[in-house]
Structure 1
Amino acid sequence: MTPLADLTTLAQDALWHGFAVFLRVTAMVALLPAFGETSVPARIKLIVALGFTLIVAPAVAATPGPNGSAALPIMVLTETLAGLALGLGVRLFILALQTAGAIAAQSTSLSQLLGGAAVEPLPAIGYVLIVGGLALAVMTGLHIKAAALLILSYDLLPQGRFVNASVLSEWGLNQVRVAFSLAFTLAAPFVILSVLYNLALGAINKAMPQLMVAFVGAPVITAGGLLLLCLSAPMILSVWLGALDSFLANPFGPQP
């Protein structure tokens, strides 16, 4: 009976450890780009979370067994908060693409074109950038980088401990700053094109007041925006992927 009791104890410890890891993994997967999209069925997300758990659990230190009735609620709260913080940090890069697409679309008069093609109403440029960014991230091993991030997170966010609220809030504000800064950087070519277009339009209107420059210029800025999107999309997605990889490699380090 002694070996059986030891085996039962070992199985209980393994289940408790797996459950603790599953809490953090599930919270992060729910917000992870590509895997946590609203178009992905909940069953698929659950399978993905179980797969990440099987990868991460053997790589982190074993979780001590529950000690007292408060152990379970504390574990659920701390691990869920840690997973949500990591997931939100990664999700902000999708927000950066959405914001960049919105800025570019407003700058080039493309904000209404194919605006309802996505699950969430987005301008066409934003939708194209998001789909391209998600495809590029998955092709370059997003699942491997996410698993490495989860393993690294146990050194940065110890299991079963609440993170200092001031530190977490400062980190979150910095990530929001980085996201909007990145969004404007990605949309900079379209903003520059819009400024040049409006300057040229003003000069033409001043020289030829009788000409309806708005009707002449609207097709020009639309065609120019589409052409600029074709030329700059590879560079935009490359810069975005580099920023995402930098965050996944060191989420709590200095961000550009």
Structure 2
Amino acid sequence: MMALAELFGMTGQLLWLHFIVFLRAAPAISLFPGFGDGSLPARVKLMMALMLTVVTAPILGPDLAQTVSDPPPLAWLVLTETGIGLLIGIGIRMFLLALQTAGSIAAQATSLSQILGNAGIEPMPAMGYLLVLGGIALAMMLGLHVRLAELMILTYRLFPVAELPEAGAVASWGVKQVAGAFGLAFTLAAPFVIVSVLYNLTLGIINRAMPQLMVVFVGAPVITGAGLGLLLVLGPSMLRLWIEALGAFMANPFGGG
């Protein structure tokens, strides 16, 4: 009987440990690129969150032993851990939004924004859809899911269980992430914007020199071909810059020393 009671006690502690880790892992998975897409069923996302929990919980066992033996109030635990998980997920999701924004800027600059504009769950131009699909595939090939497990383990050193981060620091971090995402998007789409400016200046000069020529009909195929050519040439470099920025964030997500 003593052995059975001890076994039940160990089982309860293991369940508490996995439950605590799951509260932080599930929100991160729900916003994670690839795993958190709207095209995936909720059951698949739940399975991914459970798998991440099973992988990381044994490593976090010694660090969370005190919390497991003396757990905080359930409502407070759910609030704090879910909030931190959402914070992690939003930080990673901003990079996917940066890639989408870069594709939208490039498509708008090269008059390709209406081609296949409804591809995917989230409406976006074809350029954005291709960049997002390529970015997710490249990230998974380079082991982004493994980096997520490492990041989850790191967050417990930065944010202990049942402790909310400082509101001012979170606000400052959020503003920095949004600014960085838009900066990255404009950096990736800069060649397309430059080509668009040169194209419109050239059309304006031609129109002034030859008013009777329908420069729009002549120039439209040029900018369309130039946009597709730039995507073919610069696409790998854009994805490389994006994956490097994402890797830097995964290695140091909250800017610590």
Q: TM-score w.r.t. structure 2 length?
A: 0.95
The match for 1:81 among 83, 86, 93 is 83
What do residues 26-82 of structure 1 show as CA deviations (whole Å, max 9, x unaligned)? 0100000001110011111111111100111111122423758x6111110111001
SS in 2 for 1:79: helix
Gaps of 5+ in 2: none
Matched, 1:161 2:167: no
Do 1:66 and 1:72's aligned partners in 2 also have CA atoms closer than 8 Å?
A: no
What do residues 210-235 of structure 1 show as CA deviations (whole Å, max 9, x unaligned)? 11111101111011101110000000
What does residue 32 of structure 1 align with? 32
Query: In structure 1, what is the Cα distance between the partners aligned to 2:107 and 2:221?
Result: 14
What does residue 146 of structure 1 align with? 148
Query: In structure 2, what is the Cα distance between the partners aligned to 1:59 and 1:79?
Result: 18
TM-superposed deviation, 1:209: 1.4
Moved over 4 A (4+): none
> What pairs up with 1:128-207 in 2 under 5 angstroms?
128-207=130-209
SS in 1 for 2:123: coil
What does residue 65 of structure 1 align with? 68
Amino acid at match of 1:56: T
User: Size of the alignment, in residue pairs?
Assistant: 253
SS in 2 for 1:96: helix
Over the matched positions of the two proteins, sequence identity in percent amounts to 55
Q: CA RMSD in A?
A: 1.3
Q: TM-score w.r.t. structure 1 length?
A: 0.96
Change (3 A) 1:231 1:205: same
What do residues 11-37 of structure 1 show as CA deviations (whole Å, max 9, x unaligned)? 111111110001100010000000111
Do 1:102 and 1:126's aligned partners in 2 also have CA atoms closer than 8 Å?
A: yes
What does residue 111 of structure 1 align with? 113
Query: In structure 2, what is the Cα distance between the partners aligned to 1:18 and 1:119?
Result: 32
Gaps of 5+ in 1: none
Do 2:30 and 2:45's aligned partners in 1 also have CA atoms closer than 8 Å?
A: yes
> What pairs up with 1:216-255 in 2 under 5 angstroms?
216-253=218-255
Matched, 1:23 2:26: no
